[in-house]
A and B are shown apart, each in its own frame.
Chain A
Amino acid sequence: MSLDHENDAAFNEALIAEVLSAYPDKFAKRRRKHLAVAKPAGADADAAPGEEGHLLSECDVKSNVKSIPGVMTIRGCSYAGSKGVVWGPVKDMVHISHGPVGCGHYSWSQRRNYYSGTTGIDSFVTMQVTSDFQERDIVFGGDKKLAKVIDELEEMFPLSRGISIQSECPIGLIGDDIEAVAKKKGKEIGKTIVPVRCEGFRGVSQSLGHHIANDTIRDWVLDKKDTGFEPGPYDVSVIGDYNIGGDAWASRRLLEDMGLRVIGNWSGDATLAEMERAPLGKLNLIHCYRSMNYICRHMEEKHGVPWMEYNLFGPSQIAASLRKIAKHFGPEIEAKAEAVIASYQPLVDAVVAKYRPRLEGKSVMLYVGGLRSRHVVTAYDDLGMRIVGTGYEFAHNDDYQRTGHYVVPGTLIYDDVTGYELEKFIEGIRPDLVGSGIKEKYPVQKMGIPFRQMHSWDYSGPYHGYDGFAIFARDMDKAINNPVWGLFDPPWKKKDAPVLQAAE
């Protein structure tokens, strides 16, 4: 990767100071620790290249602590991390949003975890199944109701392979014993039932929900039955690919083409069986480190399955990742990986030739969940675009460390950014593109700045793999070069019109 530009550190420092001045003192101090400008990497950076190449900078912010009240944090909750991210995509299980109707309603079909299957018959991802708590359930407890919910689900969906119980806020507050219900009913119906204590008030963001969900896979899924699976020498599980817009499929093609056998995909388009057999794999490949590193560490310890981080956004990272993965399996796979990379080179060249001239030098600000805020940086770089600011909703310290491999000194870094801060940062920097979520999309566009949703791929995708890179490039071009941005000012008030390019 080139990443040879620098960002304006002094300007960004001033911006941070200005933004903080609006807060009451106590909270200006607290927020100060979450905002920073990436510093040049220390002297030892070159000496010790990390997993993902040399360290470019240090992104030193405080993270994974409580949001301050009343500020419009963009974060969600544990339930979102468990039901929305980890468990929800497992397609042949029914996931109960256990508690009142709201949480399941708002998250219904919103995460674009594509799957193949017959919805309501053998697959259940785009369904909202809830115990729909009423006042009496709060007062008298919901365990009896939960047992009945499970019975009724058996009647309705006999082909389901299991059930997960996703706790909403009230469950942990009223002292229900969902584990007992899960055990008892699981025996009765002879299926896997997983109780998940992911109440929204636990932790500080989606992140604890990921962790809790990982732990329930460990405790209620792995090592529970004889899978009858015949392991092979090239078996890998893909962990932390949620198949947003088909990401995991675009990735799977590449892995299969290089001679690997993908024995499971966690958890986009996954079946329960795919998860159960993971301990028999030779290597766990982890894409979203933030949401699933816990279970990888567990399988390493308990089952001796090593794990490896990789990145399938943009040709530079794809090639580097395929090579790294292949190396693990030896010369035969390495040769095949080279063949795969070579076979896609003409596509990569054509995509870059077409889109790079239209995007060259454009600046981008990102604010996403726990992974993409760094993972997509090189994909932009492959198109000649520069990241001028980035941050995460629910990253931890280790994510910010890894971010140093991707962003250059001077880059503005914001952790758990508030609506106020993000608006001011964007106003101050006026990047050519912002990539963030649905809540950020419309305010940014109203400012006249192109925007792409980077959780849902803005209803596009896949973005993983070579097939995905072409789509990614096309979408960024669409966003930036659409003529609508030139229509904002009435002619009688017109300033300079931006230079745009027609679609090709």
Chain B
Amino acid sequence: MPQSAERVLDHATLFREPEYREMLARKRDTMECPASTEAVAAQSDHTKTWAYREKNLAREAVSINPAKACQPLGAVFAAAGFEKTMSFVHGSQGCVAYYRSHLSRHFKEPASAVSSSMTEDAAVFGGLNNMIDGLANTYALYGPKMIAVSTTCMAEVIGDDLQSFIENARAKGSIPQEFDVPYAHTPAFVGSHVDGYDVMIKGVLEHFWDGQERSPNDKINIVPGFDGFCVGNNRELKRILDLMGVSYTLIQDASDQFDTPSDGSFRMYAGGTTLADTAAALNAKATVSLQHWCTRKTLDYAAEKGQETASFHYPLGVGATDELVMKIAALAGVDIPAALDLERGRLVDAIADSQAYLHGKTYAIYGDPDFVHAMARFVMETGGEPTHCLATNGTKAWEEEMQALLSSSPFGKGAKVWAGKDLWHLRSLLFTEPVDLLVGNSYGKYVSRDTGTPLIRLTFPIFDRHHHHRFPLIGYQGGLNLLRTVLDVIFDKLDRDGDVAGETDISFDLTR
């Protein structure tokens, strides 16, 4: 009997005990009617071949392990970055349970959102009553200052019109006349969560800006984009901007919402861009996006309103941070402070210290379009080669932009860009053209295991490691954290490979 009260074994060890191994083998042999061991081995080997890769890449209809979520998730995340704002997702309720779970599993934090809980009758008659009743309940129970409405694919397929529904609800007294209810249509069958983020931000800005007179000032709006590291990153960003003495408004800041303290009370709302600041942001001189592919519509809208616009790709590392800092300094008309020279120098110093371990390393990078761009650029900055760059939600235009980035450096030679591909494609790529390291999120752990490529978790969602998102990746200081994360995986791998007690002591070095 393997179990005991002194040393309680759970799943991590229990099922490796002989009693369980034998039982599972018996189950397989007598009850499962499995494919033969030979057939499994043969198919397993076949999936590692170029022939399988060709068939795999030729897929046109089925997505297998795609690295993208649907639009409303982005909208719910976006809404979480505004003062006392409740997300209201119009459509079936199951989706909302999923968004909340998804965000909670990553941030290890509460994630609040409500659904209009449409069912079969609403599919026939439309969801107007759900909107009217739903807004009234949300307003009464959760005391929000703003309710941000988005849609699940059900509401989109039946064609519910959010604007008229909300006005109807207002007329029926569900919410006070002046209460703020921005909205965005977020069809799940178009784009991905990064687009949902974009349209929700645009929806909020339209709500506050449309019909208002703009009287320009010197402020700068900054839109961070969909970012699972917002807790660490936004705080770092604000520190840099304060250091520079820039007058700015962060449009959408979920850093406090997803990082509330444990002190005995649950805060449903925390931090976020105030509604007053959001409205006043119309007068800003410029709107700068940190993630181009998350904000295309938002930036167009800001430009329409007469603002200057600029966008970046999730500035990671030295060069990308340089560009961001210079652009902001130019827009704000300030000098770059000496403190940033020092921070920059320290990051360069750290990279120099470690360059021998970084130079020539090959990487596969996947994630959202801006992240992949940023990471590829950082990798090349350290002398590494971003061999495979994959974004399931990357477009043709993204692919072209990536090509331009890669051809700007000798380290990008031979690198390939995979727009629209999924992680089952990536598995084939890593079997046929292996790399040293895989960069992505928790979903990468299957490819990592199958192909033996160490995984560096650097982007949303990270379910199986804790607290990474609390530390910044962007900026010079964030760059140190980024660098350390990469190096830890490299060094751990070196140790694991040299760590065969009683067999070899080679390469198990004390100093590196």
Chain A residues within CB distance 8 Å of chain B: 22-24, 26-27, 66-80, 92, 96, 99-103, 105-108, 110, 114, 116-122, 126-135, 137-138, 145-146, 148-149, 151-153, 155-156, 158-159, 168-170, 172-174, 200-204, 206, 245-246, 249-250, 252-253, 256, 262-264, 269, 271, 273-274, 343-344, 347, 350-351, 353-355, 418-420, 423, 437-439, 441-448, 460-462, 466-467, 470-471, 473-474, 484, 488-489
Contact = CB atoms under 8 A, between A and B. Distances in A.
A118 B63 contact: no
A471 B263 contact: no
20 contacts: A22-B140, A72-B114, A101-B192, A106-B101, A127-B65, A130-B66, A132-B63, A134-B190, A138-B157, A156-B56, A156-B424, A173-B157, A200-B152, A202-B120, A245-B11, A347-B5, A350-B4, A351-B5, A439-B100, A446-B110
Closest 8 CB pairs of A and B: A77-B94, A102-B70, A70-B134, A69-B134, A106-B98, A350-B5, A70-B137, A273-B33
Q: Which of A155, A354, A438 has the most B CB atoms < 10 Å from its CB?
A: A438
Max chain B Cβ within 10 angstroms of own Cβ: one of A152, A172, A269, A448: A152
A70 B119 contact: no
B262 A170 contact: no
Interface string B21-34: 00110011001111
B302 interface: no
A173 B136 contact: no
Interface stretch (B37-45, B221-229, B487-495, B496-504): B37-45
A105 B68 contact: yes
A331 to B, nearest CB: 25
Contact of B266 (A137, A174, A353, A423): A423
A350 B14 CA distance: 18
Which range holds the interface residue count of chain B? 35 or more
B133 A445 contact: no
Contacts of A350: 4-6
Given A129-B63, A273-B32, 6 more contacts: A101-B69, A155-B55, A173-B157, A200-B94, A201-B154, A249-B20
A70 B31 CA distance: 47
Interface stretch (B85-93, B327-335, B363-371): B85-93
Nearest to A264: B31
Interface string B256-275: 00001111111110000000
Contact of B113 (A72, A128, A200): A72
A148 B60 contact: yes
A266 B261 CA distance: 42
A151 B24 CA distance: 32
Contact of B188 (A102, A354, A443, A488): A102
Contacts of B11: 114, 245-246, 460-462
B154 A102 contact: no
Given A442-B109, A470-B5, A169 B446 contact: no
B189 interface: yes
Given A122-B40, A127-B64, A447-B265, A262 B424 contact: no
Contacts of B44: 118, 121
B123 A201 contact: yes
A119 B32 CA distance: 16
Contacts of B265: 446-447
A106 B43 contact: no
Nearest to B262: A446
A439 B101 contact: yes
Nearest to A118: B40
B311 interface: no
Given A155-B55, A439-B111, A99 B153 contact: yes
B300 interface: no
B109 A70 contact: no
Contacts of B101: 106, 110, 437-439
B262 A129 contact: no
B10 A460 contact: yes
B63 A27 contact: no
**Most B-side CB within 10 Å, residue of A71, A79, A344, A350:** A71
B399 to A, nearest CB: 18
B88 to A, nearest CB: 7
Nearest to B109: A442
A131 B265 CA distance: 43
Given A72-B113, A131-B63, A137 B56 contact: no
A252 B14 contact: no
A322 to B, nearest CB: 16
B104 to A, nearest CB: 5
Contact of A22 (B9, B31, B97, B141): B141
B472 interface: no
B92 A347 contact: no
A443 B266 contact: yes
A67 B32 contact: no
B387 interface: no
Contacts of A445: 262
Contacts of A250: 14
Contacts of B72: 102
A105 B94 contact: no
Contact of A443 (B14, B110, B424): B110
A350 B69 CA distance: 47
Given A71-B137, A273-B32, A446-B262, A347 B4 contact: yes
B47 A120 contact: yes
Contact of B91 (A126, A169, A202, A269): A169
Given A100-B189, A119-B446, A471 B8 contact: yes
A106 B27 contact: no
Interface string B231-266: 000000000000000000000000000001111111
A489 B264 contact: yes
B137 A23 contact: yes
A146 to B, nearest CB: 8
Interface in B127-176: 130-131, 133-138, 140-142, 152-154, 157-158
A69 B116 contact: yes
Interface string B305-327: 00000000000000000000000
Contacts of A273: 31-33
A402 B188 CA distance: 40
Nearest to B52: A156
B384 interface: no
Contacts of B157: 138, 169-170, 173-174
Contact of A252 (B6, B27, B268): B27
B497 to A, nearest CB: 24
A23 B5 contact: no
